Structure 1
Amino acid sequence: MEVVRIEGLAKSYGKSNTKVEALKNINLTINEGEFVAIVGASGSGKSTLLHLLGGVDKPTSGKVFIDGIDIYGLSERELALFRRRKVGFIFQFYNLVPVLTAEENMQLPMLLDGKKIEKEKFEELVSILGLEERRKHLPNQLSGGQQQRVSIGRALAYNPSILLADEPTGNLDSKNSKEIIDLLKISVKKYNQTLVLITHDLNIASQADRVITIEDGLLVKDEVINSEKL
């Protein structure tokens, strides 16, 4: 089932001689349960694409549909609520709230929405992420790998339609990087999540179902790696 549809998406910055076209006429669909990696050189437009997909920036033209909803047809308030409930973000630098414990950081999107925590599901998530002994710790009491696990838990806790990961292993050593990617793959499979991940690491990209290559703002290749979900 289609989760994401992108139609004629473009983004430019500046005007006249200073105009930069970050994205040019991107058309793309992503299905439920897919793991899609986006690769490309620095400045190619891949982060811009992820930000537009997540509703944190606005396109110059084109549309993004998530679960059939035109996200840029929503008001600012509606879009903010949509992001909280339907889009899970995982960042390179974790973006955890320093005064909240690991479990409070994971529960934050639901607490902000006044939604009741499903205890059984939450405990299962804590267990999958290996955070049982760290749940009451503050971020500065956790290693980088543990902080990224909390970030993943926060993204998954609300059962979003799509997970967007921007270089989630870029701040980690090779051991922790492998553990984080393995965790994401397990989570995607267990919860039938859709994952779109930006990476410079071709070894990570090779584990995806599809690899999207962006060059100079253009989608130049859409390669199927694992056809089981397509």
Structure 2
Amino acid sequence: MDVVKVVDLCKSYGTGNTKVEALKNINLTIKNGEFVAVVGASGSGKSTLLHLLGGVDKPTSGKIYIDGVDIYNLSEKELAIFRRRKVGFIFQFYNLVPVLTAEENILLPLLLDTKKVNKEHLEELINILGLEDRKHHLPNELSGGQQQRVSIGRALVYKPSIVLADEPTGNLDSKNSKEIIDLLKISVRKYNQTLILITHDLNIASQADRIITIGDGNIINEVINNAKL
């Protein structure tokens, strides 16, 4: 089943001589449970694509369907709710709320939606992330790797259909980077989620089911990782 379908997606900024075409007629489908790595040079359009998939920016033209829903046909309020429930975001910068504990940061999407906490799922998630002894700590009491684990927990707590990760290991050393990618793979497999990850690290990209290369706003190459099939 296709969880993501992108049809003739275009995004441009500015007008006239200052116009920049960030994405040009992108067509793409991603299946449920697939791990897709998106690679490309800085300015190639990969982050723009991720932001559009997540509903945090609007395309100039084209369609994006997530779980069959045309997300840009939703009202602003409907899109905000859909995004919170269906899409998990993980960024290079952790964006944790400094006055909330690790556990409270993880629970934030549920609290914003006034949803009842599934304590069993929360404890399972915290254990998978290795944060049992850190769940009552504030972000400034955590290492960089631990803060990124918290941001992963926040992205996964709602059991979203897709997880979007934008250079999630960009601020981490090689040991922590490996641990974070391993955690993401374990989590998305366990909960049958789709992971779309932007990275400059080809070693990380090589672990994906499919590698998409973007250049100058176009998909210029797609490689299926046969070793994973």
Confirm or deny a common fold (TM above 0.5).
Answer: yes
Tell me the distance in 1 between the aligned counterparts of 2:75 and 2:185: 33
Measure how far apart 1:228 and its partner are: 5.9
Q: How does 1:119-198 map to 2 (within 5 A)?
A: 119-198=119-198
Report what 1:105 is aligned to. 105
Measure how far apart 1:100 and its partner are: 0.3
Structure 2 runs not aligned, ≥5 long: none
Tell me the distance in 1 between the aligned counterparts of 2:94 and 2:195: 17
RMSD in angstroms over aligned alpha carbons?
Answer: 0.9
Report what 1:70 is aligned to. 70
Report what 1:48 is aligned to. 48
Tell me the distance in 1 between the aligned counterparts of 2:15 and 2:31: 36
Measure how far apart 1:59 and its partner are: 0.4
Structure 1 runs not aligned, ≥5 long: none
1:212 aligns with 2:212: yes
Q: What amino acid maps onto 1:212 in structure 2?
A: I
Report what 1:26 is aligned to. 26
Tell me the distance in 2 between the aligned counterparts of 1:228 and 1:28: 20
Provide the TM-score with structure 1 as the length reference: 0.98
Question: Alignment identity in percent?
Answer: 79
The size of the alignment, in residue pairs, is 229
Tell me the distance in 2 between the aligned counterparts of 1:221 and 1:73: 29
4+ runs of 1 displaced by more than 4 Å?
226-229
CA contact (8 A) 1:35 1:209 kept: yes
Tell me the distance in 1 between the aligned counterparts of 2:226 and 2:33: 12
Provide the TM-score with structure 2 as the length reference: 0.98
Give secondary structure in 1 for the equivalent of 2:95: coil
Measure how far apart 1:121 and its partner are: 1.1
Measure how far apart 1:223 and its partner are: 1.1
Measure how far apart 1:93 and its partner are: 0.6
Give secondary structure in 2 for the equivalent of 1:181: helix
Measure how far apart 1:16 and its partner are: 0.9
Tell me the distance in 1 between the aligned counterparts of 2:104 and 2:48: 30
Deviation readout 1:51-97 (Å, 9 max, x if unpaired): 00000000000000000000000001111111111100000011000
Give secondary structure in 1 for the equivalent of 2:25: strand
